[in-house]
Copies of this chain bind each other. A is one copy, B any other.
Amino acid sequence: MAQSLPVSPLAKPLPPLHAVPGVKLGAYEANIRYKNRLDLVMFQFESSTQVAGVFTKNLCPGAPIDWCRNALQVTGGTARALVVNAGNANVFTGQAGKITTQETAEAAAKLVGCRPEEILLASTGVIGEKLDSHKITTPLPHLFSHMTETKWEEAARGIMTTDTFAKASTRKTTINGSTVIIQGIAKGSGMIAPDMATMLCFIATNAAIPAPILQELLAENIQDTFNSITVDSDTSTSDTVLLFATGTAKNTPPFSSQSQELNHFKKALHEVLLDLALMVISDGEGAQKIFKVCVKGAQSDNSAKRIAQSIANSPLVKTAIAGEDANWGRVVMAVGKSGEPANRDTLSIMIGGIPVAINGVAVKNYDETPVVAHMKTPNILIEVDLGIGQGQSHMWSCDLTHGYIDINGSYRS
């Protein structure tokens, strides 16, 4: 079971967490699938809290994804609460799954005193098993009555499934002179996992930012963070990132996502998202190392992205990283298999900043010592220059080890 997995060697300790004014939260042991651990989490937000969301592109999403997409549409981007459970993803559960989301939202709305559509939902865990709403709605009043502004750590633990460590990140910054806080939690190890699943991320700020602008900020900053990580190329049916802005900082709201006054906020939001995204791959199933793939000189940024993805997802590249083998031949292969424009004779590769191949030929008699030393570190850098254009992009990934097979190749039992 998840609890008995050894903690990732790349685990980060929780930073000191703060209250985010306008947010109360808590966690509870609801025994949805796990015993003796927190598995039900609730956030409550000040009235008129704005929300933005980004969801899985998987075309067979879970019922909570359908619920959230519709709720954001109906409310135009306001939310009063979020209910999350771990242990059952409520995916591939047909009409029953839809009823569970409706009943859960109604129960939470009654407690909070709002419309059901102002309740957002997320579930993570086993796929294809019915999730009875009473498993959530029965303990919910107790959880609701015990929420405080300070239970961020419990919430971070309560959403874990195969995660081996709790994930949170926090920043203080300013908008128009007002100090604001941005703080988030995340979970996820494989992009999806057997009995467990999914990447979830919930971020709250006390800044006042209208929902349409919040959505633009999230969409813009997700590209280089959560949309630039991969564990095993598999895409969960439940991936969710939600960003809540309670507005209690009472800053003058920005007029546009491009306003100069948002520059500090954007930087801090990007840092929180990147922190959490890298923690997710650092907890990739069996991960011992993470690596960044930087591609430049491609025909376009999109082309560079697809090449970076091809390298970051290649099982042969990922096993080479695990084996501390500076095997650039596999990088060439992954460039070629991406199907993107590339020219063998202008292709150059650097590992750990050291050129190993230039213009299609291995660097002669290069000093392998620093490359070998770099491969032994837990953070590997692979740079590829296609030499045919100006496009650039990057991806982060983790190595593929025996641990991945152990975790994913065992009986469900």
Q: Indicate whether A253 reaches chain B with its CB closer than 8 angstroms.
A: no
Q: In the complex where A60-B342, A92-B360 touch, is A333 in contact with B408 (Cβ < 8 A)?
A: no
Q: Indicate whether A27 reaches chain B with its CB closer than 8 angstroms.
A: no
Q: How many copies of the shown chain assemble into the complex?
A: 2
Q: Which of A5-13, A36-44, A168-176, A314-322 contacts B (4 or more CB under 8 A)?
A: A314-322
Q: In the complex where A92-B362, A323-B411 touch, is A333 in contact with B405 (Cβ < 8 A)?
A: no
Which residues of chain B are near A337, meaning CB under 8 Å? 57-58, 233-235
- A residues 381-408 touching B (CB-CB < 8 Å): 400-402, 404-405, 408
Q: Which of A14-22, A149-157, A189-197 contacts B (4 or more CB under 8 A)?
A: A189-197
Which residues of chain B are near A251, meaning CB under 8 Å? none
Q: Indicate whether A347 reaches chain B with its CB closer than 8 angstroms.
A: yes
The residue on B at minimum CB distance from A347 is B60
Is the Cβ of A336 less than 8 Å from the Cβ of B94? no
Q: Indicate whether A59 reaches chain B with its CB closer than 8 angstroms.
A: yes
A342 touches which of B59, B235, B340 (Cβ 8 Å): B59
Which residues of chain B are near A287, meaning CB under 8 Å? none
The residue on B at minimum CB distance from A329 is B127
Which residues of chain B are near A126, meaning CB under 8 Å? 329
Inter-chain CA distance A94–B345, complex, in Å, is: 7
The residue on B at minimum CB distance from A326 is B412
Inter-chain CA distance A313–B316, complex, in Å, is: 13
Is the Cβ of B91 less than 8 Å from the Cβ of A319? no
Is the Cβ of B362 less than 8 Å from the Cβ of A404? no
Contacts beyond the supplied A92-B344, A232-B316, A233-B337: 4 A-B pairs with Cβ under 8 Å: A194-B316, A194-B327, A236-B333, A322-B405
Q: List 17 A-B contacts (CB under 8 A).
A: A58-B333, A59-B338, A92-B344, A93-B361, A94-B345, A128-B329, A190-B316, A192-B330, A232-B315, A235-B333, A236-B333, A315-B400, A323-B409, A327-B412, A400-B409, A401-B405, A405-B405
